Structures are given as C-alpha cells and as structure tokens.
C-alpha cells in the first residue's frame, strides 16, 4: 500500500514539476490547453483520489485482531477462537435462497452448482412460463411455486415466508452463481463464514463476487469486480455495500436501510461467489443502464437514509456523500464533457500516424491529451492491482490493465442513459431505454 501511495504521489508531483519549469514538451505546442487537459484528466484525477483513500482505509481497517489470522475481512471480527469441529457443532440453521424464472437450458448447470448445498437450498419459481418448476422438482429440488411474477426482490421476500422458523441466516444467490469453497474435514468455507457472521451480530455480509471467464468482455468485468471488491468494498469497514448476492439475517433489508437504522455491514473475501458476466455488449449496456438508474433512484428517494448512512465516520461521509453524490452524480456531466477531447485527441494521434491529414490540431483535439491521460490511468490501475487481486490472479488481469481506460470511458454512455431514464420517468412517465431491470420493484446495487 505504501509503495502504491509513493508511486501515485510521484506521478502527480513529477507532472506538476514538469509543468512548473516548462520542460514538458506539450507546453510548447500552442494548441495545447492546460484547462482542456485537466478536463480530459478528470476521470484519472477522481479515480486517483478514490483509490488512494480506499487503499489507505483498507490497510488500516482490515488488520486482524490476532496477527496469526489473515486480513480477510473489512473489519476485525471478535467472534472468539473455535476449531472447525466446534464451528460445525454450534452453527445455527441457515438457508440458500434463490429466485428462478425460465431457466431453460441453464437448469442442469444450476442443479449441479447447488448439489453440495441441497439440504439448505430453497428455491422459488417466479411464475416461469416454461417447465422450470416441474424439472426442478423432478431433479429433487424443493420448489415454491409463485403464482405471479414478482421479480427477484419480491420473490425472495415471498420465499422467506416459507422458511422454517429456526432458520436465522440467509444467503441470497442468483441462479447463475456458484459458491467457490474449500472443504476441510469438518466444515466448509461457506459454513465457517456463516458461523462468524452469526456470532458477529452484524446486519449483513458482502462476499467477494468474481466473474467467470468467458471472452474479452467478461475478463474486463473480472478486473472491474476485483477492483470494486478488493479495493472498494474492503475499504468501507462496517459500512460496506451489498450486491444482489449477500448474507443477511432472516429479516433482510437492503444496505441503505440497514445502515440508516444503525446496523452494520462488512465484507469477507473468504467467501467467493462466482457468477456469469455479461457476454454481449447489449446485455452489458442494459445492466449498466439499470445500475445507474438504481443509483439515481436510491439517492433521490432516500435522502434521509443516505445522510444517516454517512454519519459517524469520515470514510462513510466520503462513500455516501462524496463518492456517490459528488463523484458519481454531480461530476458525471463533466466526465462526459472530458471524454470529448480524449476522443478527438485519439483520432488526431491515429491520423498523425497514418499521415492522412484529416484531423486538424486544435485546442480540443491536441494529440497529447489521450496518451498522457492513458499513461496515468494505466499506472493508476497497475498500482491498485496487487492490492485488489490475490497473487494467483494478478497475471491474468495484467493485459486488461492496458485497455481499462477505454472500458471505463465506455461506461459514460449507459450511465448517462440510466440517469436520464430516472429524469424522464419522473417527468414524462417513461424511460428513454428499457433495461432489463425496468420491471423490478427494487434495484440491487
């Protein structure tokens, strides 16, 4: 973490010194505008602040109580020391809850992934139009048949009504997810994590989500998730954020409501859940539109809960007011504007290499903007990668570090449409784009 902080500081201080003494060659180009360059660098500047703060918080907050333990959780857990046999013996009842709808050809893979958890598995068929419920019952899976389509949040709440009263802990899963775990002679990783959660008395637990490898787009998402969980979630201490896959007490509530009423949520990277990524640009685009719509909706409709979630700690203020409110919402139009000189600069650079003479040098198209921003962003992600991913996965992520800036810039379009969807839905009663969350009563973030 200290090496990363030194490299980030050297990056910005070195650039500043070069600007100050006029030795940096772009300063001699009359079409180079420092103001436009700063605008084009906004995404790097914001992400540099964000990653530096989160790495510092992750380093200080996740130190284990006992030096013999690894720092696998976002906060030290005071649950006592138990051997695997004792953990298994005192583990209280839990359930894996899954909502399914029209599984089709994916049904056999779902049954196979859940085979090890059959005794704790509870499935609700969310009014499938095919024979999903019948085929699951033939495979020996206990299925609750929904009489009408509630979508995932509503279906899960209906499923909770059918759980035995003694079940006090629930792991919410998607049908395309599976638990990656090691099994000792007495207890699995999943049950050991649940045991700690039950004794910790926290409101919810966020596991490490990992994207399954399936093409170039999912590998970019895999790097994205590594950064989001290994740096992002782990930095939030006991005010972490859950996703659609998480562990809750039986009386589950979404993250914002839990935090607003004084509950706590922590991150535990020992529990790894692998899920399918979006393999096509269309489905990836739709997912990101839905996520940004959900952010705008939650922020607009739950202002008091946001304020309550941010109280009590500087990092909580940063996450819920600065990062989500300022960096993600208020600065978004400036990020879109900053993408324009980046596109123009990249086009100018390609044009210069080809000698086509089609793109003229100008204040908004100077060929230096893109390579300078690109170099800084590659260095930023390279610094963060060792802290975000375990040693065995860093090499696989390395090639994608070099294309991560274009991937991040590509998010600007679906995020913009997601925000506009919220505005047009409020003003005109309809969305500009119908994403695959459009009918959901609640969007998990």
Q: Which of 151, 61, 135 is nearest to 143 (CA)?
A: 135
Is 152 part of a structural domain of the chain? Answer: yes
Q: pLDDT tens across 218-251, in order? A: 999 999 999 999 999 998 888 888 888 999 988 7
Q: Do residues 378 and 229 both lie within one domain?
A: no
Is 399 part of a structural domain of the chain? Answer: yes
Is 76 part of a structural domain of the chain? Answer: no
Structure tokens at 55: 């790495």
More confident residue, 383 or 262: 383
Q: Do residues 119 and 261 both lie within one domain?
A: yes
Q: Do residues 23 and 108 both lie within one domain?
A: no
Structure tokens at 390: 């375990």
* CB neighbourhood size of 21 (10 A): 8
Q: Do residues 53 and 161 both lie within one domain?
A: no
**Total number of domains constituting the chain:** 2
Q: pLDDT tens across 366-393, in order? A: 888 999 999 999 999 999 999 899 888 9
**What's this model's pTM, rounded to 2 decimal places?**
0.86
Cα 239 vs. chain centroid, distance in angstroms? Answer: 15
Q: pLDDT tens across 196-213, in order? A: 999 988 999 999 999 998
Last residue of a domain, one of 279, 301, 322: 279
More confident residue, 106 or 251: 106
Q: Do residues 20 and 95 both lie within one domain?
A: no
Is 385 part of a structural domain of the chain? Answer: yes
Is 78 part of a structural domain of the chain? Answer: no
Phi, psi of 73 (to 5 degrees): -120, 160
Q: Do residues 54 and 184 both lie within one domain?
A: no
* CB neighbourhood size of 148 (10 A): 9
Q: Do residues 268 and 339 both lie within one domain?
A: no
Last residue of a domain, one of 279, 308, 343: 279
Per-residue pLDDT at 182: 66
Q: Do residues 170 and 26 both lie within one domain?
A: no
Is 270 part of a structural domain of the chain? Answer: yes
Q: Do residues 121 and 222 both lie within one domain?
A: yes
Domain boundaries, position 222? 84-279
Q: Do residues 54 and 91 both lie within one domain?
A: no
Residues linked to residue 183 through DSSP beta bridges, in sequence order: 188
Q: Which of 263, 264, 261, 272 is nearest to 305 (CA)?
A: 261
Sheet architecture: strand order including 94-100: 143-145, 121-125, 94-100, 169-173, 246-249, 204-211, 265-275, 177-180
Is 324 part of a structural domain of the chain? Answer: no
Residue 208, domain CATH:
3.90.550.10
């Amino acid at each position: 973490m200290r090496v990363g902080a030194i490299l980030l500081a050297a990056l910005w201080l070195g650039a500043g010194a070069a600007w100050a003494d006029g030795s940096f060659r772009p300063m001699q180009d009359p079409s180079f505008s420092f103001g436009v360059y700063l605008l084009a660098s906004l995404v790097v500047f914001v992400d540099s602040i964000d990653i530096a703060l989160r790495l510092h918080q992750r380093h200080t907050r996740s130190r284990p109580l006992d030096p013999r333990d690894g720092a696998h959780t976002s906060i030290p857990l005071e649950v006592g020391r138990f051997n695997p046999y004792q953990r298994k013996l005192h583990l209280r009842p839990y359930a894996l809850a899954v909502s399914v709808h029209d599984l089709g050809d994916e049904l056999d893979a779902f049954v196979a992934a859940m085979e090890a958890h059959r005794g704790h598995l509870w499935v609700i068929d969310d009014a499938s139009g095919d024979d999903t419920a019948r085929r699951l019952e033939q495979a020996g899976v206990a299925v609750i048949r929904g009489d009408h389509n509630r979508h995932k949040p509503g279906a899960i709440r209906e499923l909770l009504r059918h759980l035995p009263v003694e079940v006090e802990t629930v792991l919410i899963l998607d049908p395309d997810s599976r638990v990656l775990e090691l099994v000792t002679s007495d207890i699995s990783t999943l049950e050991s994590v649940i045991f700690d959660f039950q004794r910790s008395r926290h409101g919810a637990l966020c596991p490490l989500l990992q994207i399954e490898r399936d093409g170039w787009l999912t590998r970019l998402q895999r790097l994205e998730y590594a950064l989001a969980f290994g740096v992002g979630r782990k930095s939030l201490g006991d005010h972490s954020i859950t996703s659609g896959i998480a562990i809750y007490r039986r009386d589950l509530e979404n993250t914002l409501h839990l935090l607003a009423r004084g509950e706590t949520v922590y991150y535990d990277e020992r529990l790894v859940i692998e899920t399918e990524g979006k393999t096509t640009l269309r489905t990836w685009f739709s997912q990101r539109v839905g996520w940004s719509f959900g952010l705008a909706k939650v922020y607009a409709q739950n202002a008091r809960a946001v304020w309550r979630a941010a109280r009590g700690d500087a990092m909580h203020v940063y996450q819920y007011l600065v990062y989500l409110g300022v960096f993600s919402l208020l600065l978004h139009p400036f990020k879109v504007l900053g993408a324009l000189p980046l596109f123009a600069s990249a086009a100018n650079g390609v044009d210069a290499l080809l000698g086509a003479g089609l793109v003229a040098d100008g204040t908004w198209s100077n060929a230096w903007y893109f390579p300078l921003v690109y170099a800084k962003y590659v260095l930023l992600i390279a610094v963060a990668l060792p802290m975000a991913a375990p040693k065995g996965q860093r090499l696989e992520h390395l090639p994608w570090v070099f294309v991560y800036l274009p991937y991040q810039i590509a998010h600007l379009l679906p995020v913009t449409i997601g925000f506009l969807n919220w505005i047009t839905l409020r003003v005109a009663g309809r969305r500009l784009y119908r994403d695959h969350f459009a009918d959901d009563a609640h969007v998990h973030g």
